[in-house]
Amino acid sequence: MRKAVFISGKGSNLKALIDANPNDDFFIYSNQKCDGLLWAKKRGFFTKTVSLKNTNDWKSFLQEVKNLRFSVIYLLGFMRLVPDFFLKNCGCECINIHPSFLPHFKGLGALKESYTNKKGMGCTLHIVDSKVDEGVVLFQKNLDRHRILDLDAFKLRVHAFEQKLVTTHFRLKKGLCR
Ligand code: GRF
């Protein structure tokens, strides 16, 4: 089972996924140079920065992804909209982690907005479709009833649950592909 992870930043979800599955290999892509990619490179994983600024960029990336025949692609803090033609032709599910209890607070800034509004707090793992943060929900954690924390502690809690959802999904996926 070949799997890819797309990231754009720190890569804390990626690190948690790798740490929980030390014997698994992952192909890691980013649309920009970032800490998560450097970390993964040092750990010996396949890493690549791909320019994804226009349709042609996405088309050539799609070709590469198709050739590798991934079983799953995780978007873990990947800050780019994935075009519909990529989703339809990449040959596997793309799965995204989002830092709110969807359908509350789609798009950017979700964690802070949910914290400010004291609703929709949590995280959601969902299948990616052409609309922003709207695909089928796979797992969710609601934190609305949790003790109110300061924003930094709340962020840590959301990230901890995000990592739990991602690693749980991967464990199940691996079981199914065996
Ligand atoms: C996560 O909160 C994710 O939900 C959001 O971006 C953050 C990524 O963090 N889309 P990291 O790169 O995994 O540290």
Ligand 1 centroid vs 71 CA: distance in angstroms?
Answer: 22
Ligand 1-lining residues (CB < 6 angstroms): 7, 9-14, 36, 76-77, 97-99, 159, 162
Q: What is the mean pLDDT of residues 40-65?
A: 97
Looking at the chain, the whole-number percentage of residues with pLDDT higher than 90 is 92
Tokens of 170: 């991967």
- List the catalytic residues: 98
pLDDT per residue as tens digits for the range 19-36: 999 999 999 999 999 999
Ligand 1 centroid vs 98 CA: distance in angstroms?
Answer: 7
One-letter amino acid for residue 29 of the chain: Y
Ligand 1 centroid vs 23 CA: distance in angstroms?
Answer: 23
Residue nearest to atom 5 of ligand 1 (CA): 77
